[in-house]
């Protein structure tokens, strides 16, 4: 095979060249096509086992792991849960989850600022999917890059701690547009912030993104108050189960020739 | 920060499409709501193309405008990335028409022109002798 005379053009790949006079190949394909394909595979994997997957994204330190700890405490009798943790370094978060008696796989990304579908896929092989109801994927703390990578999750939940300020949706529109649910966290601190955080302004900033995204408030430390979040979770688990339930196979009421067969 | 990862995905696709012929130009369409920064992607491309079929290729990034359609007043308008509301009626029930593209549009490949007879170019010298 050479690169000059065209002898590497085969019946299998010639169509790529044939429809492109002048050497230009029209592609019109998503740049992250390979990631998206893997994400689709992950999603099929989750669905096959009836598992709901939730991607948690936020800035570092907005309370993702604390929220998960409180969630495990609140829902351990209702759902079988597991967590995939993404961080640049350390097993700290996975250790905190395991201490609650829930399986956790830590992905350390080194210098990569986000999880991608391939990383999540390898983590999935370490989880007993068949015995689970919900897998939480705690993404790398970052309001920029994780928004661009589909992991195969069913829902994106973005946390916004009151200490971050209410204009985060305006500053990071790509991330907040990706959210199916925005959880305003650390609301037990809101009094200490005075006028620095207003829930109404945060909602306005979300609405300015042209989305009617649900915004709910929680706090997960000490007297954890996470009811709005656990209610939403129960609801989406139920919705997901309903979509996976196989529809009864359609068949005609009077199949032809049955009478003549004597059945 | 993630532009290098995006660029590596681009290079994999470009190499696959090139059939190992040299690539002269890669055209992308990128909207501001894709989360990818064109200038950083240009710099990542200069690193990622080294030693590949696209070593001398030019990367053209066609930016797309952030454009919405208002479901209330049926108006289309160009807007800014964090103000996806209708500039006319102020409605926030809008649909994004463009602005979140992250698309490989086309790849220009420097391949030999087909022979006028349509014969395989490798076969021509042999047939002449």
Beta carbons of A145 and B35 less than 8 Å apart: yes
Cα(A39)–Cα(B123) distance, integer angstroms: 45
Do the domain assignments include residue B122?
Answer: no
Do the domain assignments include residue B117?
Answer: no
Do the domain assignments include residue B40?
Answer: yes
User: What's the rounded mean pLDDT across residues A2-29?
Assistant: 57
The DSSP line for B110-122 is: --PPPPTT---TT
Domain that holds residue B98: 3-112
Beta carbons of A28 and B103 less than 8 Å apart: yes
| CA-to-CA separations, A35 to A29, A118, A119, B3, in angstroms, rounded | 12, 7, 10, 14
Do the domain assignments include residue B52?
Answer: yes
How confident is the model at residue A256, as a pLDDT? 62
Do the domain assignments include residue B60?
Answer: yes
The DSSP line for B55-105 is: TT-EEEEEE---EEEETTT--EEE--TT--S-TTT----EEEEES--EEEE
Beta carbons of B2 and A148 less than 8 Å apart: yes
How confident is the model at residue A105, as a pLDDT? 97
User: What's the rounded mean pLDDT across residues B6-29?
Assistant: 94
User: What's the rounded mean pLDDT across residues A117-143?
Assistant: 96
Which site among B72, B87, B104, B105 would you substitute to test the A interface, given the most A Cβ atoms closer than 10 Å to its Cβ?
B104
How confident is the model at residue A16, as a pLDDT? 54
Interval A71-128: pLDDT, tens: 999 999 999 999 999 999 999 999 999 999 999 999 999 888 899 999 999 999 999 9
User: What's the rounded mean pLDDT across residues B37-43?
Assistant: 94
Question: What pTM does this model have?
Answer: 0.84
Cα(A193)–Cα(A189) distance, integer angstroms: 7
Residue A34: closest CA among chain B residues belongs to which residue? B9
Residue A18 has pLDDT above 90, yes or no: no
Domain boundaries, chain A: 43-236
Chain B within 8 Å of A260 (Cβ-Cβ)?
A: no
Interval A146-167: pLDDT, tens: 999 999 999 999 999 999 999 9
Complex ipTM above 0.85?
no
Better-scored residue on pLDDT, A29 or A224: A224
CATH code of residue B91? 3.30.2320.80
Q: Which residues of B touch A170 (CB under 8 A)?
A: 82
How confident is the model at residue B129, as a pLDDT? 39
Chain A within 8 Å of B44 (Cβ-Cβ)?
A: no
Q: Looking at the 3D structure of chain B, how many domains does it have?
A: 1
Please, what CATH class does the domain formed by A43-236 belong to?
alpha beta
């Amino acid at each position: 095979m050479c690169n000059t005379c065209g002898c590497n053009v085969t019946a299998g790949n010639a169509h790529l060249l044939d429809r492109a006079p002048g050497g230009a190949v029209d592609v019109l394909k998503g740049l992250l096509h390979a990631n998206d394909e893997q994400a689709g595979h992950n999603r099929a994997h989750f669905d096959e086992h009836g598992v709901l997957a939730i991607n948690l994204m936020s800035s570092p330190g907005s309370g993702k792991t604390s929220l998960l700890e409180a969630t495990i405490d609140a829902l351990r009798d209702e759902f079988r849960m597991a967590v995939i943790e993404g961080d640049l370094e350390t097993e700290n978060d996975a250790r905190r989850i395991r201490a609650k008696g829930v399986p956790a796989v830590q992905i350390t990304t080194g210098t990569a600022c986000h999880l991608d579908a391939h990383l999540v896929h390898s983590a999935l092989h370490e989880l007993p999917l068949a015995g689970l109801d919900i897998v939480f994927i705690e993404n790398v703390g970052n309001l920029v890059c994780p928004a661009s990578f589909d992991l195969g999750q069913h829902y994106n939940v973005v946390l916004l701690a009151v200490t971050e300020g209410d204009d985060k949706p305006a500053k990071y529109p790509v991330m907040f547009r990706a959210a199916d649910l925005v959880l305003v966290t650390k609301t037990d601190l809101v009094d200490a912030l005075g006028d620095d955080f207003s829930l109404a302004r945060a909602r306005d900033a979300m609405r300015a993104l042209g989305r009617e995204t649900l915004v709910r408030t929680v706090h997960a430390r000490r007297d954890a108050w996470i009811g709005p979040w656990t209610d939403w979770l129960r609801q989406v688990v139920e919705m997901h189960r309903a979509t996976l339930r196989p529809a009864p196979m359609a068949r005609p009421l009077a199949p032809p020739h049955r009478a003549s067969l004597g059945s | 920060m993630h532009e290098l990862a995006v660029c590596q995905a681009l290079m994999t696709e470009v190499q696959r499409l090139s059939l190992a012929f040299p690539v002269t130009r890669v055209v992308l369409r990128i909207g501001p709501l894709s989360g990818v920064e064109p200038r950083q992607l240009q710099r990542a491309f200069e690193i990622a193309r080294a030693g590949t079929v696209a070593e001398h290729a030019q990367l053209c990034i066609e930016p797309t405008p952030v454009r919405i359609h208002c479901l209330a007043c049926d108006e289309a308008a160009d807007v800014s990335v964090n103000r996806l509301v209708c500039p006319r009626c102020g409605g926030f029930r809008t649909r994004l028409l463009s602005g979140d593209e992250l698309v490989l549009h086309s790849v220009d490949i420097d391949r030999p022109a087909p022979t006028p007879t349509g014969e395989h170019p490798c076969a021509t010298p042999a047939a002449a002798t």
